[in-house]
Amino acid sequence: MMDFNQEIINFIKVWVQSAASLSYTYYFSSRLPKGLFRLVSLLPVFYLLLIPPLNISSFLLSAITGFFLSWLTTFKVISFAFDQGPLYPLPQNLLHFISIACLPITIKQNPPPKLKSTTNPSPISHLLKRVFMSFPSKVLCHWVITYLYQYKKYMHPNVILVIYCFHMYFMLDIALSVCAAIAEFLCGFEVEPQFKEPYLATSLQDFWGRRWNLIVSSVLRSTVYTPTRHFASHLIGSRWAYFPAIIATFVVSGLMHDIVYYVYIMHVYPKWDMSMHFVLHGICEALEVEMKCKRSRGDKWRSHPVVDRVMVMGFVMGTSVSILFAPLLRDNVDQIAAKEYSILFSFVREKIAMLGTGLT
């Protein structure tokens, strides 16, 4: 039986240590010249971001810590060493720096004034926005999906995997929306949305680069894609440099998915099946970009956007069901998460009851 009190203590320790290491980054490393010298000075920071989170055994708490700190914050700090990424230029105070570093948020830069739209959205787009974009609707959908897991034994495995697709979207979007609200409350930031109607993507490039989990796209762009493309352009020319840059970005994304899931959450050796999923998408996106280049030069016939959307979402969901979410089904992640939700709610109720008893 998991000692949730100890898990909360470990969780707090990890985040306090990370905040302290980021304070060191803000006050000391930021004063050093960018490049290798600053990167070496950040080695203690990388240690505190990568190693202490391994002491958390709770599925939910380790998922948050592994994704936020061990992945995103580590990559943000790497890009900061070279004056790139969301931590550059240096925020005006330490609280802003830590918030941007630890939370999966993208700050709006010089947001333009809101203008009235002169075009009316299509009925389908409007309906999808009403169903999927409002926060209460996402919470409700998440609750319904969690409830459906009780009937898992009556469902076909592929149906369960499809449900996982929707569950992952709603869970991530809710978590990132909460982080955005925290950032706006603490620092007054105006935060970019992290999902921009991914179900309307007309290409893989559109889906991964401009619609799905944009904080990850932004971080990988500054730490992997741009440096790789710059380096490759000197070796094979700028015409083909995008190809290894795209592949490298998806390889790193796949590796980090495997490490966060297997090492930080499940505490086992990675099986690299998630990496296979992202390598496949990287190759397909690189080929897609090349086809678009040829199509633009030849000005040939183009398919209807609705057809593109159906094909993209069919490919994304099909490969996710068959490759990406297979480990979740194998490891009974839904049951583990549901059990921990129950423990968490009991823990919160117990603390509230103790607080109420103390006040009376």
Q: 13 pLDDT exceeds 80?
A: yes
Report pLDDT for 137.
79
Which three-class secondary structure state does DSSP give residue 191? strand
Which of 208, 160, 166, 172 lies closest to 328 in space, CA to CA? 160
Report pLDDT for 352.
79
* Integer Cα distance of 153 and 146 in angstroms: 14
Block residue for tokens 């194998």: 330
pLDDT digits (tens, 9 = 90+) for 48-95: 999 999 999 998 899 999 999 999 999 999 999 999 999 999 998 999
| Total length of the chain | 360
CA quadruple 34, 35, 39, 40: dihedral sign:
negative
* Integer Cα distance of 103 and 150 in angstroms: 32
> Quick count: other Cβ atoms within 10 Å of Cβ 164?
22
Domain boundaries along the sequence of the chain: 1-107, 123-187, 199-359
Q: 121 pLDDT exceeds 80?
A: no
* Integer Cα distance of 268 and 166 in angstroms: 26
pLDDT digits (tens, 9 = 90+) for 172-200: 888 888 888 888 888 888 888 888 888 88
Q: 252 pLDDT exceeds 70?
A: yes
Beta strand segments in the chain, E? none
Report pLDDT for 327.
85
What average pLDDT does the structure give for the chain? 85
Q: 238 pLDDT exceeds 80?
A: yes
Torsion of CA 200, 131, 219, 113, to 10 degrees: 90
Query: Which is higher by pLDDT, 128 or 76?
Result: 76
> Omega of the bond prior to 244 within 30 degrees of 0, cis?
no
Which three-class secondary structure state does DSSP give residue 116? coil
C-alpha distance from residue 284 to each of 94, 214, 221, 266 (Å): 41, 19, 18, 29
Q: Within 13 Å, how many C-alpha atoms sit on residue 145's CB side?
A: 21
